[in-house]
Amino acid sequence: MSGEVHTACPYCGVGCGVLARLEGGKVHVRGDPEHPSNFGRLCSKGSALGETMALDGRLLFPEIKGQRASWDTALDLVAQRFTQAVRDHGPDSVGFYVSGQLLTEDYYVANKLLKGFIGTANIDTNSRLCMASSVAGHKRAFGEDIVPVSYEDLEQADLVVLVGSNLAWCHPVLHQRLLAAREKRGTKVVVIDPRRSASAEDADLHLAIRPGSDVLLFNGLLAHLAASGVTNPAYIAAHTTGFDAALALAQADAPDRSRVAKGCDVHPADLARFYAWFEQTPRTVTVYSQGVNQSAHGTDKVNAILNCHIVTGRIGREGAGPFSVTGQPNAMGGREVGGLANQLAAHMGFAAPELDRVSRFWNAPNLARTPGLKAVNLFEAARAGRLKALWIMGTNPAVSMPDAGRVREALGRCDFVVVSDVTRTDTTRHADVLLPAAAWGEKDGTVTNSERRISRQRAFVPLPGECRPDWAILSDVARRMGFAAAFPYRSRAEIFREHAALTAFENDGERLLDLGALSDLADADYEAMAPVQWPVRRGAQPGGRLLATRFAHPDGLARLVPVRQEGPARPVDGDYPIALNSGRLRDQWHTMTRTGLVPRLMSHAPEPVLDLARREAQGFGLETGDLVQVESAFGQALARLRVSDAQRPGEAFLPMHWSGLFAARAGAGAVSNPATDALSGQPELKHVPVRITQA
Ligand code: SF4
């Protein structure tokens, strides 16, 4: 249809291609049939995108302390206060908290400004809450944060194992692709999730494991694979290291199957069936998501899964591999440019040769030398008065962070808070300076989805009011802080070329993230860029499966990591006897600032509902429809109760979406535990001990 723009959905990590057009003052969207990630499909959220474009509630002008200000005045103040904080208290007294909603170009400029020129690595992203444990697990096993498979592998697999992933609701189009393939080839689907989710309803086998017992389950599988002779000795010898230690700990942790069944609290016959299917199916893809990552032991859970794929050589091959699916549209792009506090840029870390390389590339002698504060610690530093200036971009931590009440306190105590966003949120209430950012449909740049595919998000409506793209706002502040030579950008294409060039700079193949062939794209080619899967090396075919035989550790070998089953950071007890799980609903996105505007999306779940196991509901004298208070050691939430047989006894589930804007304090963030994984810094959002009482 004429006038349609090829763009990408701004919600989940599937990264569907969207055709959008503005006609008669209305935005119309449909799935892009040419996009290789979705081939024209969209889910309920994506197909309602056109109904979320109203300007009601949009931030249209800069504000200082709630009063409208000019861009010059606002940006002068931001630059002056950040400069002053650095001068008086050092570079580590400032920080950025950014978002998987940012485009890669925005992320790149934010990271370069803070790490390269202000000289601190205190930039972290809300992706920390989403997939940081997968990043840490990938780096341990593979030597680099690599997702080795593509969506088509799901369609070529004979067994798909979903671990801690409600794919049907959280990555709906990928789930549709899986179901369509299953119709054709009879793919078996196993769901491992304490909750009987929509994905579990559809599965051939659902293992409703005890929350957090994933390491035991996969250690038991590793021991079973070794005992069954399915491990691949030639492959292990040629391409891995650490097998004996990993197997020994797995065998000690899971000495026999009955111990595993008891520890995971699943029926022995179901466990045996899962192990047998995995053992007998070379084409196995294991999809893992927030149910694995959001844990104080998330990195170990990831490595327990990776171990089973590596020892069988089921990685980087058609229809086989471990597959971390990301929650946000550009969590991967953020990882690629260094949007996490413990990464530098272009998949490099803080080792001396990498610091030297990035410092020379950016001409940045003041480059941060050590990792910065991860999300939970960043807000703790603000609360403790150590962080003097904080800039939050495109995210709502006052609701979405664990122990959100403490985060609101932190924002209240920080000397200077800047928020750039598209609408007012609980977080914008704390802003000294509020900057109106460009929204989806107005901004333009690139995103990378869960299968490493880079797509263009394109503008198709004019910028409203005085809104500006994040990369332009950041570049203006950088120039005002005295870094004009390093931030000359006048277009997003310039930024993308520089990012691509950095991935290829002195990269002889040791880093798989290589976009060298895109580093000299003409502006017109950038504008017309079709979706492309990385690596995009000069002189090589782009994309494809990775890590079949060569890994990114210096010796080229994968690491098999010994892991041990551990309990939750805070077990249930007499005061807080219920284990609270949290997650997404089918039709909502994050804190609902966009999807909450669409009546037909709201009708799926018009209010926050707590699903509570029948046994406890009866024990507490509660019935479906009761208004209940959910209380943890960290905060309270209000919700409507639903007695549920989808919950294991002793467990409950609360959606993550609601905030003070839509209901009395009810988001799962209000009660969540800020305990984090020691390696990844990812909070334990999936297991919070609570008590539930009639409100
Ligand atoms: Fe958007 Fe994800 Fe739905 Fe695709 S599956 S339309 S990316 S929300």
Residue by residue, DSSP assigns 86-141 as HHHH-GGGEEEEE-TTS-HHHHHHHHIIIIIII----EEEGGGGTTHHHHHHHHHH
Q: Which atom of ligand 1 is nearest to the CA of 15?
A: 7
3-state SS assignment for residue 36:
coil
> Which of residues 236 and 398 earns the better pLDDT score?
236
Question: Of 295, 325, 355, which residue sits at a domain end?
Answer: 325
- For the chain, the average pLDDT equals 94
**Residue 225 maps to a domain:** yes
Residue 667: is its pLDDT beyond 60? no
pTM of the model: 0.95
Q: Phi then psi for 592, rounded to 5 degrees?
A: 65, 20
Question: Are β-strands 321-324 and 284-288 bridged in parallel, bridged antiparallel, or unpaired?
Answer: parallel
Same domain? 312 vs 278: yes
Query: Rounded CA gap, 18 and 692, in Å?
Result: 42
Q: Phi then psi for 189, rounded to 5 degrees?
A: -125, 125
Residue 3 pLDDT: 86
Q: Phi then psi for 286, rounded to 5 degrees?
A: -110, 115
Same domain? 47 vs 67: no
> Which of residues 675 and 281 earns the better pLDDT score?
281
Residue 635: is its pLDDT beyond 70? yes
Question: Of 490, 516, 540, which residue sits at a domain end?
Answer: 490
Residue 244: is its pLDDT beyond 90? yes
CA 487 – ligand 1 centroid, Å:
33
CA 49 – ligand 1 centroid, Å:
10
Most ligand 1 atoms within 8 A of CB, residue of 19, 29, 38, 45 to mutate: 45
Question: Are β-strands 63-64 and 67-68 bridged in parallel, bridged antiparallel, or unpaired?
Answer: antiparallel
CA 105 – ligand 1 centroid, Å:
21
- Cβ–Cβ < 8 Å for 514, 507: yes
ipTM for the whole predicted complex goes beyond 0.85:
yes
Residue 614: both structure tokens together: 């029948």
Residue 592: both structure tokens together: 């609902």
CA 637 – ligand 1 centroid, Å:
29
Residue 672 pLDDT: 75
**Residue 192 maps to a domain:** yes
Residue 101: both structure tokens together: 């909603």
- Cβ–Cβ < 8 Å for 32, 46: no
Nearest alpha-carbon partner for 404 in 189, 210, 635: 635
Q: Which atom of ligand 1 is nearest to the CA of 31?
A: 6
**Residue 290 maps to a domain:** yes
**Residue 554 maps to a domain:** no
Same domain? 268 vs 407: no
Average pLDDT, integer, range 548-562: 96
Residue 668 pLDDT: 59
Same domain? 157 vs 31: no
Q: Which atom of ligand 1 is nearest to the CA of 14?
A: 7
Same domain? 223 vs 344: no
Residue 660 pLDDT: 43
CA 152 – ligand 1 centroid, Å:
17
Report the nearest-CA residue for atom 3 of ligand 1.
43
Q: Which atom of ligand 1 is nearest to the CA of 47?
A: 6
Report residues whose beta carbon is within 6 angstroms of any ligand 1 atom: 9, 11-12, 14-16, 38, 42-43, 45-46, 171-173
Residue 117: both structure tokens together: 């020129």
Most ligand 1 atoms within 8 A of CB, residue of 130, 154, 171, 453 to mutate: 171
Same domain? 118 vs 27: no
Residue 663: is its pLDDT beyond 50? no
Contacts of 524 (CB under 8 A, 6+ apart): none
Nearest alpha-carbon partner for 264 in 220, 324, 198, 296: 220
**Residue 616 maps to a domain:** yes
Digit-coded pLDDT (tens) for 150-191? 999 999 999 999 999 999 999 999 999 999 999 999 999 999
Query: Rounded CA gap, 380 and 377, in Å?
Result: 5
- Cβ–Cβ < 8 Å for 667, 637: yes
Question: Are β-strands 389-393 and 321-324 bridged in parallel, bridged antiparallel, or unpaired?
Answer: unpaired
Same domain? 614 vs 474: no
Average pLDDT, integer, range 551-555: 95
Residue ranges of alpha helices (H) inside 186-330 are 198-201, 214-227, 233-239, 243-253, 257-264, 268-280, 290-293, 298-311
CA 332 – ligand 1 centroid, Å:
15
Residue 56 pLDDT: 84
Residue 159: both structure tokens together: 């067994």
**Residue 160 maps to a domain:** yes
CA 173 – ligand 1 centroid, Å:
6
**Residue 538 maps to a domain:** no
Residue 636 pLDDT: 87
Q: Which atom of ligand 1 is nearest to the CA of 12?
A: 2
Residue 433: is its pLDDT beyond 90? yes
Residue 659 pLDDT: 59
Average pLDDT, integer, range 445-471: 97
Q: How confident is the model at residue 665 (pLDDT cuts 50, 70, 90)?
A: very low
Nearest alpha-carbon partner for 79 in 666, 543, 483: 483
CA 451 – ligand 1 centroid, Å:
14
Same domain? 598 vs 676: yes
3-state SS assignment for residue 503:
helix
DSSP 58: B
Most ligand 1 atoms within 8 A of CB, residue of 12, 177, 448 to mutate: 12
CA 413 – ligand 1 centroid, Å:
37
Q: Among all chains, which residue has been given the structure tokens 């198709």?
A: 460
> Which CATH number covers residue 679?
2.40.40.20
CA 48 – ligand 1 centroid, Å:
10
Nearest alpha-carbon partner for 287 in 327, 236, 328: 327
Same domain? 244 vs 358: no
Residue by residue, DSSP assigns 303-360 as HHHHHHHHHTT-SSBTTBEEEEPPSSTTHHHHHHHT-STT--BTTB-SSHHHHHHHHH
Name the amino acid, one letter, at 220: G
Digit-coded pLDDT (tens) for 107-157? 999 999 999 999 999 999 988 988 999 999 999 999 999 999 999 999 999
Residue 510: is its pLDDT beyond 70? yes
Report the nearest-CA residue for atom 4 of ligand 1.
16
CA 60 – ligand 1 centroid, Å:
27
Residue 604 pLDDT: 87
Q: How many domains does the chain have?
A: 4
Same domain? 347 vs 216: no
CA 11 – ligand 1 centroid, Å:
6
Name the amino acid, one letter, at 546: L
**Residue 445 maps to a domain:** yes
Q: How confident is the model at residue 589 (pLDDT cuts 50, 70, 90)?
A: confident
Same domain? 118 vs 160: no
Same domain? 440 vs 345: yes
> Which of residues 210 and 1 earns the better pLDDT score?
210
Q: Among all chains, which residue has been given the structure tokens 């991860």?
A: 374
CA 530 – ligand 1 centroid, Å:
18
CA 47 – ligand 1 centroid, Å:
8
Q: Which atom of ligand 1 is nearest to the CA of 8?
A: 7
> Which CATH number covers residue 406?
3.40.50.740
- Cβ–Cβ < 8 Å for 501, 541: no
Residue 2 pLDDT: 61
Q: Which residues pair with 468 in a beta bridge?
A: 437
Digit-coded pLDDT (tens) for 316-344? 999 999 999 988 888 888 999 999 999 99
CA 157 – ligand 1 centroid, Å:
22
E strand or H helix that includes residue 408 = helix 404-413
Report the nearest-CA residue for atom 2 of ligand 1.
12
Most ligand 1 atoms within 8 A of CB, residue of 39, 42, 590 to mutate: 42
Q: Which atom of ligand 1 is nearest to the CA of 43?
A: 3
Share of the chain above pLDDT 70, in %: 98
Q: Which atom of ligand 1 is nearest to the CA of 44?
A: 3
Lowest-confidence segment of 262-276, 465-479, 675-689 by average pLDDT: 675-689
Query: Rounded CA gap, 630 and 639, in Å?
Result: 7
Question: Of 457, 490, 523, which residue sits at a domain end?
Answer: 490
DSSP 214: H
Contacts of 241 (CB under 8 A, 6+ apart): 555, 557, 558, 559, 560
Q: Which atom of ligand 1 is nearest to the CA of 38?
A: 4
Residue by residue, DSSP assigns 477-500 as HHHHTT-GGG----SHHHHHHHHH
Residue 669: is its pLDDT beyond 80? no
> Which CATH number covers residue 46?
2.20.25.90
- Cβ–Cβ < 8 Å for 322, 306: yes
Q: How confident is the model at residue 552 (pLDDT cuts 50, 70, 90)?
A: very high
CA 10 – ligand 1 centroid, Å:
8
CA 201 – ligand 1 centroid, Å:
21
Q: Which atom of ligand 1 is nearest to the CA of 171?
A: 5
Look at the chain and count its residues. Answer: 695
Q: Which atom of ligand 1 is nearest to the CA of 172?
A: 5
> Which CATH number covers residue 301?
3.40.228.10
CA 572 – ligand 1 centroid, Å:
35
Q: Phi then psi for 588, rounded to 5 degrees?
A: -120, 160
Residue 129 pLDDT: 87
For residue 233, give its domain range: 132-325
Most ligand 1 atoms within 8 A of CB, residue of 47, 165, 173, 449 to mutate: 173
Q: Which atom of ligand 1 is nearest to the CA of 42?
A: 6
CB atoms inside a 10 Å sphere around CB 303: 25
